[in-house]
Chain A
Amino acid sequence: MSVVRPDKSKLFYHELPPSWWLSKRSYFLFMLRELSSVFIAIFLVVFLIQLYQLTRGPEAYAAFTQKLSSPGWIVLNLITFLFALYHSITWFYSSAIVLPLRIGEREMPRNLFVALNVGALAVVSLVILVLFLALKG
């Protein structure tokens, strides 16, 4: 079966500009979600460095922790915290689509699934906080 193909020489090809993700709200929010991983990674690397300081002695650990109280670090951690929450929420919405929970025959409504995950996040956070306060010494 032959297919009629258009004359390629006369087609107009439109190329997506690098600013494509700035042109639409949904695209911008998508890119923000992707970049949230950068802030999370930075925080974890700094945390690792903090733990490394501990291997050099408690004074080194205390000194490094003290450095993190400077305004620059606090602002960065604030931004990171917001990005981390944004990652969590968008991750829960994605999970609802990727692995839908079935109640009987029907899929659980997505907003309910997200709400349950947010609840789980709150519980897990509380448990970690309590355990840390109890065991840190």
Chain B
Amino acid sequence: MTEEKNMEPLWWGLFSAGGVVAAFLVPIHIIIFGFALPLGWISDSGTLYRNWLVKIYLFVLIALPLYHWAHRFYFALNDMKLGLPRQPLAVLCYGGAIVGTIATVWVLLLL
């Protein structure tokens, strides 16, 4: 007997992975790319991102926390009782994360 597979574990698993990545990697990246570079404390030629190992790292850094956001934000919006319809909201959030993932792969391949 096959029952329709509950997809919740998938989203929760991605949410968790994204949460770990965000917890350990995001703060220092904000320091570097949010402050150090824009304010001119350090310079960056951009050549580092051509390296394929670095690209894999960047993929993990950017894509996974998007699923963390999607899952958390979807539930938070529902919890806030704003009366927003669930299905479209789910499509916007999880769909947004998927679109972001594709965009990330595309940019990294272009680099």
Contacts and interface: CB of A to CB of B under 8 A. Distances in A.
Contacts of A115: none
Contacts of B27: 81, 84-85, 88, 121, 125
A133 B33 CA distance: 12
A69 B45 contact: no
B110 A52 contact: yes
Contacts of B13: none
Contacts, number: 148
Contact of A128 (B25, B40, B66): B25
Contact of B34 (A20, A48, A81, A121): A81
Majority DSSP secondary structure for residues of A touching B: helix
A18 B24 contact: no
B23 A87 contact: yes
Contact of B111 (A21, A55, A124): A55
A69 B39 contact: yes
Interface residues of A, number: 52
A41 B69 contact: yes
B47 interface: yes
Interface of B: 19-20, 22-35, 37-40, 42-49, 58, 61-62, 65-66, 68-69, 72-73, 75-76, 79-82, 100, 103-104, 107-108, 110-111
A111 interface: no
Interface in A80-134: 80-81, 84-85, 87-88, 91-92, 117, 120-121, 124-125, 128-129, 132-133
A76 to B, nearest CB: 8
Nearest to A61: B46
Given A47-B33, A68-B38, 7 more contacts: A37-B22, A40-B69, A44-B66, A77-B35, A133-B42, A136-B43, A137-B44
